A and B are shown apart, each in its own frame.
Chain A
Amino acid sequence: MNFAQRLQHDHAAALSLLSDAAVPSAARHAALTRLTELGLPGLRDDDFRYANLRPLSRASFAPAAEPAELASQLASLLPARLDGYTRCVLVNGRLATAYSDSAAALAAAGVGATLNDSFEASLPDIGPAERFDLLNQAFATDCLRISSAGAVRLEILCISLAGATDAASYPRLQVQLQPGADMTLIERHLGGNASGITVSTCNVQLGRDAQLQHYRLQDLSLDATWLDTLRATLDANAHYRLSLLALGGGAARSSVRVRLAGQGARLMLNGASLADGKRVLDTVIRVEHEGRDTRSDQLLRAVANEQSGISMTSRVEVSAVAGGADSRQSLKGLITAKGAEINLRPQLEILTDEVTASHGATTGALDENMLFYLLSRGLEADTARKLLEWAFIADVMSRIELPALRRQVEMATVTRMGNAAALESLL
């Protein structure tokens, strides 16, 4: 069966799992049709030039059933609780009430709310680069809708667990911040030895003057495939601080598209990708300046070890009516082994004169002078190298403002880096 046939087949077979409450069936069919038209990205498709989509050629798109034996696998995956944060756990794309806070606590954090009609219409378009959002729409088994007008601190854990078969999971989040709302949202995609596909979608709308601090951490297992889409729209003077940390997955692709629609809207995006083995981590970001005096700052760092590949594309578009826009992009890559590869692509399209923009991208090996300095102080060669890798992404880490979370993320990072014992005293 080709891609289109498999989509149709798996969708028809899964119908009983696909509720209208998650995504209305008309929307599911429209998504399926559009995805069939677009097809799987080919080798010459520039939006996916560096992504590893091979797992899709044989994957089953059928949503995973809820694994019967949750407790034993889950226990080791759930991070320690963060003080003051409401916790919500999705297992294979479904709300797992047994591991989440009480329904009342979730409701107080705005989980399960009804979103305003404006929500869907305000989001950035789904372009060819964001096409896997269509896959999520077609197959999502649940949809977590969050709406808040006040101050909320929420942690969402999207856990992918291995079932009997390598089925797919479809976490789907929709976040709407009312004018003036203030939210910290921690979104983690974690998995044990699950080797299936996780197709995640997160849609965000920030009302006027709303503030969202959004941490996204992907730490799936080595053979997992992650296809992720984040679309966000910012109204006037909204402020979106977004951290993207990709540590896991065998083949991970994240498509991020942010519309700075209202005057004075602002995006601060910090991202780090760290890969070893043969992982392929691909991030494609598109920021659209539409309102006047909008601002975007991007700080992106990549460290590729062994035979891994990391790519980061960051495209900024400033429309003709977005005078006073200010855009900064800093992309840096560190390659630590001969077989590793990094591709950084900052792109800028400006249709107005009245704009401040800067961008830079550099990729290199470890600085030999820094390495010699550390060795001359007696550090083990391996520790010294790891320390410099760590230092390379320290900028991004230091911008995690929540100390308890920063520590968890740092621990996850040094664990991925290996030699955790030598680096632990860093933290």
Chain B
Amino acid sequence: MKARVIVTLKNGVLDPQGKAIEGALGGLGFDDVGSVRQGKVFDVELSGSDKDAAKAELEQMCEKLLANTVIENYAIEIA
């Protein structure tokens, strides 16, 4: 089973890297860019076939390691 975990910064947390990318896009002539927030994507392969169990396990992975919940949110997608 394939799953994708998307980790993004919480609203209100300053993202200097996103800001720098935003500036660089502007410099390339992409004038309509309002803002950019940078995040992370993890593609995880799991051996089981129970989607609910996998989702629960992925949530644990996010809480324990993949995300720092002080500053980040996470979303889980299972194919």
A and B pair up = no
